[in-house]
Structure 1
């Protein structure tokens, strides 16, 4: 795996985070390279004065933040992992920290923006939210360039730029990536509520979903399966690990009304959605025992603190398919469980989670299954 990015007279050492042994994926892609080269070849630095800022949106692991280290810049991401990776890679490359502001996607966008570089996010809803917020802080002089893999840029992608920014065109493809250029000339910008709300009839809950929440348009069928098959027991400290909009943790709160429920996700939008949903749908005596944590899984949590961890593990990190997140979640879960504590997960049948759990816990029980999913249970033993 290549850790050295040499581009436009700069050399950077960049790592993906969390770091794993035998990593096969690098911490930047051709879209990062395309943006950097375009910025230099077209002298976009001349549009940045002392009072203005460079705005970087969805920088994955810090390639853009580190390369543009001499400019005053704000970096916006919904990912805790991305923001943490940026910090670590800046330290690795001795980048100054006094000219950069890192913020999550739910914070207000800066208003003194002169050049904007965007990595196109995975979902259209996340892109629409980003462009909607961006449209509020730009002027006709703002330079806006986006980049993404060719297979992520469709007519619907370009239409969103047209709707919220203005006249839009694309570049030729290079190394399977493409640039998007938008001129700020749109005056009739729609006032649209991008968060979605829908109801879970069985519980009578109205579920709020920010733009970048997993399965934001409907109840995830894997999550539903886990909600319907929660373990019986007198649990007091429960974790909804990778909580998304929080519905599994909310079901746990109803099943174990005296338990403290901790919701954990690396998406700021997910955690805010889970918080809203818990407060709006469950009684105060249950919500007052809830905790909401933006974090890389259970990293940094104390050993032997929880007696039940519930998880619907993701198998993507940004655009990459990987089982490393599941591995990390399972290992950290074992560390954080009390003796006799349980990890209960739901996963697609084709994913080899049973073997992983047996290797980590020394045991794994098939609780139930259907045509698409399995629910597995592992117990921490000594």
Structure 2
């Protein structure tokens, strides 16, 4: 992998990143960590990622050299004198992240925020004014900005972080069924039902029974409607985001449902076959546009679709109409129909058996 613009900016300022117990949040494995270890071999590094793909890449390469964590909530036994944060797409997620790490910071810890200009990082000083003293721009290069500030520990700030306080709940009513959706900051459709998912829910198969896989489950709204509407289903939900996984688990619980919710890099952890597969597949990883995980899913999902003489199986996908998913489905899954169109979204449907 070529080194990202964000990592290049960090490396331009490697002397600013001197630390004893640094914490790197949502950085990629692209060479930056190797260089950091070279320059600061005695540093006790922790890498915390909410993206499963990035976590796996870092863990697989540096398993015996640094501590790696993948979870919806940061916890550690040590406190940090430096934190480097890859600026998130969601401003609410930044506030969530800062509150979450506060109990694990040494007094006067240095906080570095880095991100692409188009991702909103220029707002870092304003967004962190309650948390940092003198957040200043350090560098601008490669279409990225680097900001830094100092965090002074305030009285009571070391109190435990309560993740439950950060869920946003809202109700949706679909076909007479009311659902409570819970989502953490940064999770897709955190505050309301999006157009694509709503269209998918209006075009689910008329009858569903057996195992269901919800690929890219987000906060879990698709699976919850299926579980409420079709009680003879066994729900499995996967996502690449630890924040989405935690949200989906909470959404299931709030609606009196159960399901197997797990992390996966596309189909890496999918080991079963299903009667029904549904998805509003993601095409963003953080602030980056990425179609690879969904395209890998569409190319490989057929072997996980099971049909019997008694029951046919199907795949239902919603996607932005500009995404070229239909040809991939036609080639790798079989005959696929476009069964609905609305506001720039298409529903693609394949039936097996």
TM-score band by shorter chain is 0.7 to 0.9
Gaps of 5+ in 1: 1-14, 16-25
- Contact 2:14–2:36 at 8 Å: present in 1 too? no
Matched residue, 2:87: 120
- Contact 1:74–1:110 at 8 Å: present in 2 too? no
Q: 1:189 to 1:180 in 2, by over 3 A?
A: farther
Q: 1:201 to 1:343 in 2, by over 3 A?
A: closer
- Contact 1:75–1:100 at 8 Å: present in 2 too? yes
Alpha-carbon deviation of 1:313? Answer: 1.2
CA distance in 2, matches of 1:352, 1:358: 11
From 178, 182, 200, the counterpart of 1:226: 200
Matched residue, 2:31: 63
Q: 1:110 to 1:175 in 2, by over 3 A?
A: farther
- Contact 1:131–1:165 at 8 Å: present in 2 too? no
CA distance in 2, matches of 1:227, 1:375: 10
Q: 1:207 to 1:347 in 2, by over 3 A?
A: same
- Contact 1:236–1:256 at 8 Å: present in 2 too? no
Per the alignment, in what secondary structure is the counterpart of residue 266 of structure 2? Answer: coil
- Contact 2:211–2:233 at 8 Å: present in 1 too? yes
Matched residue, 1:313: 281
Matched residue, 2:328: 356
Alpha-carbon deviation of 1:117? Answer: 1.6
From 255, 259, 263, the counterpart of 2:233: 259
- Contact 1:213–1:269 at 8 Å: present in 2 too? yes
Matched residue, 2:137: 170
Alpha-carbon deviation of 1:189? Answer: 9.3
CA distance in 1, matches of 2:145, 2:240: 28
Per the alignment, in what secondary structure is the counterpart of residue 133 of structure 2? Answer: coil
CA distance in 2, matches of 1:103, 1:237: 27
Alpha-carbon deviation of 1:263? Answer: 0.8
CA distance in 2, matches of 1:145, 1:300: 34
Q: 1:195 to 1:302 in 2, by over 3 A?
A: closer
Matched residue, 1:293: 262
CA distance in 2, matches of 1:188, 1:208: 31
TM-score by length of 1: 0.81
Kindly report the root-mean-square deviation, in angstroms, between the aligned alpha carbons of the 2 structures.
Answer: 2.4
Gaps of 5+ in 2: none
Per the alignment, in what secondary structure is the counterpart of residue 237 of structure 1? Answer: strand
TM-score by length of 2: 0.87
CA distance in 1, matches of 2:166, 2:172: 19
CA distance in 1, matches of 2:146, 2:156: 23
Q: 1:204 to 1:234 in 2, by over 3 A?
A: closer
CA distance in 2, matches of 1:110, 1:164: 22
Residue pairs, 1:1-382, within 5 angstroms: 15=1, 26=2, 28-40=3-15, 42=16, 44-45=17-18, 47-48=19-20, 53-69=21-37, 70=41, 71-88=43-60, 90=61, 95=62, 97-109=64-76, 111-154=78-121, 156-185=123-152, 187=154, 193-202=165-174, 203-282=177-256, 287-288=257-258, 290-302=259-271, 305-339=273-307, 340-380=312-352
| Larger relative contact order, structure 1 or 2 (CA cutoff 8 Å, min sep 6) | 2
Question: Per-residue CA shift, 1:2-41, capped at 9, x if unaligned?
Answer: xxxxxxxxxxxxx3xxxxxxxxxx3x3222122133123x
